[in-house]
Structure 1
Amino acid sequence: MAKGKKKFEIVTPRGTVYAQASKGGKVSSKLEWNPEFAPGKEKGFSNAQEFVDSECIRRMNPETPRRTGVLIKSATLGTVIGSGEINQIAPYARRQYYEHKEKSYWFERMKNRHKDSILKGAAQYVKNH
């Protein structure tokens, strides 16, 4: 069964003070992290995960076997967007995935075709935060 949204936690180190003595005296510097860095990146990774989940479901649609369309809708209904898991809740989904004559392994086929564009889109969410 689907779990909740994935939680990303980024921890930044504490600030550091550097001191160096030279012939002309002592020089000190302090390194501090931007306090908005971690929350911003966590939000970016969370948004990227939601994008990946949504894109995978959308792009699996044409690859998924269809008779009534229930198998396709089961991915939307069974998945918590942002969890990092796609769950198809139709009772026959597993058997169809592994044993369908023409369209088995539809997630793998979708991934082989669209992996690069999905990763490129996800990177935009992380880069912008």
Structure 2
Amino acid sequence: MSNNSIKVTLTVAPENELFARRGLQKGGRVQKYIDSEVLRCCDSYVPMLTGKLKQSGITSTVVGSGMVHYNTPYARKNYYDNKGMGKQGLNLGGKRGRLWFERMKPDHLSGIIKGVKRIAGAK
């Protein structure tokens, strides 16, 4: 009787190597893209009287860390309580005002995800 069996050996690279190939490791190109896109997309939603709050997002964020920081003494108060009364504010038909990250997502999240897929090589 003949032996009709085959033997298959599958070698898979370590998880961290697979992630690195796709830029998915901590601080990798995908995380850097997400962080920079969040900053870019939030730009027109952040309240702006002097521009310091908006600028603090750029200067206080370490792109690739996975955390976007707006670091001014009034950042938290503006995030939760800003009334959007400025020239480009929510109450005057603009986008600037409170909860800027949450309000940016419906407008830009699908584009960010599309970019992540492209950078990571997804099909």
TM-score, normalised to structure 2, is 0.76
2:90 aligns to what? none
Contact 1:66–1:72 at 8 Å: present in 2 too? Answer: yes
- For residue 59 of structure 1, the aligned residue among 41, 44, 49 is 41
Is 1:117 paired with 2:111?
yes
Instruction: Tell me: higher relative CO, structure 1 or 2? Use CA pairs within 8 A at least 6 residues apart.
Output: 1
Displacement of 1:29: 2.2
1:72 aligns to what? 54
Is 1:41 paired with 2:23?
no
Work out the number of aligned pairs and report it. 105
Is 1:84 paired with 2:66?
yes
2:102 aligns to what? 108
TM-score, normalised to structure 1, is 0.73
1:6 aligns to what? none
In terms of fraction of residues, the more strand-rich structure is 1
2:93 aligns to what? none
Q: Extract unaligned runs of 5+ from structure 1.
A: 1-22
SS of equivalent to 1:28: coil
Deviations 1:43-100 (A, max 9, x none): 5112111101000101111111111110011001111111111111111000001000
- Higher alpha-carbon Rg: 1
Q: Extract unaligned runs of 5+ from structure 2.
A: 85-96
